[in-house]
Structure 1
Amino acid sequence: MTRFAALMLAAVLLSGTAAQAATLKPAATVADGQILLGDLFDGLEPDVATRAVMVAPVPGRRASLDAPTLSRIAASNGIDWRASGGADRIVVERASVQVTNEAIVDGLRLALRDAGVGGQADVLLDNRTLSLFLPAGNDASVRVENLAYDAVRGRVTAEIIAPATGPEVVRQNIGARVMDMVELPVLARRMAMGEVIGDGDITYLRQPRDRVQAGAVVEASEMIGKTLRRAVAPNQAVNVRDVREPVVVGKGQAVTILLQSSTMSLTASGKALSDGGMGELVRIVNTSSNRVIEAVVAGPNLVTVNPSNPVIAPVSQVSGPSKKAAR
């Protein structure tokens, strides 16, 4: 073999084994379970770029590859790449679909409802930050299996499977507290004493049933059309003692006293010693006899007395509204 031929053969051999020049990508997102050379480096031939070099992180996670790791990958795969410094690195993220905590809670709540647990029940997961990550392309839905509800303890356990249909990708055991919830009518704005509550003044507040205070108003009908005995802040439970029928007989107002039975009807003049709404019991002084009686408010300036209702006391014995009347 001539010297020229030997040189040509060496050139061919060297060109066949020469390393490919490449540049490091700034970041990478992979859809499958393997990290390819082409995910890490630019400037590679197609057959080299599709070569798998390591397992990808699980869905929803990321992996950081530092300069020494990248140098080993490049050298073992014949890639001409040298780290420019220790700061060279790439973060590889696995593309995923997230099943949120809210979606898990909604699925569990629906399963409880299907099992006959109250429709107002709410669920608080033991792991309040729990979320599931599925490989990209999956549906972010769940189904519930092996539901076990303990009504005494207010606890539920179950298995969450995602996605809801098709091949199972994730199965997760969960535990949660189940709370019986109620919707309380509350004021949507701050209202002053004496204001009449209308439909537009009502909004609703969800609370666990066991946290509802005794005497709280539970139906909007108990508030609408009523007035407040005191100023009440918005978005807090309203006590039945805080609402009343609108005042139609005011303290100190002249009223007509109507005494009526099946055989007679009598009227007299009087003066109210306290405010009263429709149907409420108020104290009235008969201005003719100077006696104090209890009467029921029947309308503006009108009160009614049952014939069997006793006289409370002469007005001279009543020092004020707070003094208990003698019987």
Structure 2
Amino acid sequence: MNRKHQEIIASCWHALLLVLAMYSTALQAAPSSLQQQINDAINLYVDETHNGGFEQIEVDIQPVDTRLRLSDCESALELEHRPRNRSTGRLTFKVSCANPENWTIHVPVTIQAFDNIVVSDLPIAKGTHLSPSDLRLELRDVSRLYGGYFKTIDELVGFVARRPIPAEQVMNPALVDPAKMINRGERVVIIGEGHGLSIRTTGLAMEDGAFGELIRVRNTSSDKVVEGRITAPGQIKVSL
């Protein structure tokens, strides 16, 4: 065999090995019918669970181990996820099939949820009364924001920074306090409502309070102490 024939044979072997490698890769990449059924079921479950609650959802499903040799499921797959107290982040899906063979597997799934949430636009000093100029909306991954977050700037207007807040910080309830609407010793309006009646008088606040909080106020006319809910700056409402 001359050198030219050897080169032709070597070239053919190289081409054959390349085709086999590409075919093997394609087989590994192409999901089986069962894997596709599991993917479709989990994606549908996620869509129904969140029902448009986020701007964007990304679902990463770990492939099923092919060594399990599970039969295709002829009935609808049954799904449950753990932990039950959340629906984003790293989850484990219990996937069950009743027909033709009764089998159950556990599939790791990572769900990223993206939403427009409130972040600090600039550094905010402790004690600052927040205004729209301090904040902005930004698309963020909220999957692991277990401390909570705000979806509208209006929810934070009038709140006070509890501590220094750096720029780009996701705003959460632990960072802010409601702004005080009444200070202890301040003269306030007491509005009593009930049974079709509305009575207005004045009193002195016995404690500080923010919007919606209950505080004690001493009625300056009767000297009685009443408890009312703050409804506006310098104003409380009591039930008659």
TM range (shorter): 0.3 to 0.5
More helix per residue: 1 or 2? Answer: 2
- Report which structure shows greater RCO (CA 8 Å, sep ≥6): 2
Larger radius of gyration: 1
Normalising by structure 1, we get a TM-score of 0.36
